[in-house]
């Protein structure tokens, strides 16, 4: 893949982010919430497994 095509895609997303705060929220807020939710869930299940190594 050529570098100018990658740059064009990144530039397109930057222009879209600048116009809409909802897109920024969708790009950063929800993935962060998902990581925290699944991280806490895995810690919970790991603590109740009988053979879990700590």
Write down the pLDDT at residue 52. 58
Phi/psi of residue 35, nearest 5 degrees: -65, -45
Count Cα atoms within 13 angstroms, Cβ side, for 18: 6
49 close to 43: Cβ distance less than 8 angstroms: no
How do residues 19-36 score in pLDDT, each as one tens digit?
787 887 888 888 999 999
Write down the pLDDT at residue 48. 82
Q: What is the pTM of this model?
A: 0.52
| 21/31 Cα distance (integer angstroms) | 15
49 falls within a domain:
yes
54 falls within a domain:
yes
Range of the domain at 52: 21-54
* Domain total of the chain: 1
16 falls within a domain:
no
Write down the pLDDT at residue 28. 85
């Amino acid at each position: 893949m050529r570098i100018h095509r990658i740059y064009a895609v990144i530039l397109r997303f930057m222009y879209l982010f600048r116009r809409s705060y909802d897109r920024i929220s969708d790009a950063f807020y929800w993935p962060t919430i998902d990581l925290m939710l699944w991280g806490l869930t895995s810690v919970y299940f790991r603590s109740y497994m009988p053979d879990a190594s700590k």
